[in-house]
Amino acid sequence: MYRIRKEASFSAAHHLRHYQGKCERLHGHNWRVEAVAQGHELDEGGMLLDFGDLKKALNEVLAPFDHADLNTVPPFDTIETSAENLARIILEALAAKLDSERVRIVEVTVWETPTSAATYIRND
């Protein structure tokens, strides 16, 4: 089994609607995102997936979030803007762009701070 990882980042504000405490107020983070692709076979060039292709897709998925109030960006206008939900939504969007018979996006980790992260792992 092969795995590759790519990181990207974006800056955005948000607030938690169903939370009592300081995070219910509008605040911002410099979010860091790591995406993991996995597969059993390499292509003719000896790669699972070109890092550049993963970078491009990840940047496309993150673009609507950058310098935005996440609570106004679909689907976060109706669901909580937690790191856990961000990880799932980002994984699903990346999978729609990159999954093939040979390669699957299997994991996304989102850091709100350098020491606090949430990971969504695909089980299907």
How far is it, in rounded angstroms, from Cα 108 to Cα 105? 8
Cβ atoms of 37 and 105 within 8 Å: the answer is yes
67 is catalytic: yes
Among the listed residues 15, 23, 80, 92, the single catalytic one is 23
Among the listed residues 29, 34, 107, 112, the single catalytic one is 107
At position 70, the amino acid (one-letter code) is L
80 is catalytic: no
23 is catalytic: yes
Work out whether strand 27-39 and strand 68-69 pair parallel, antiparallel, or are unpaired: unpaired
Among the listed residues 7, 27, 60, 67, the single catalytic one is 67
Strand order in the sheet with 2-14: 68-69, 2-14, 27-39, 104-113, 116-121
Other CB atoms within a 10 A radius of the CB of residue 25 amount to 9
Which residues carry out catalysis?
A: 23, 67, 107
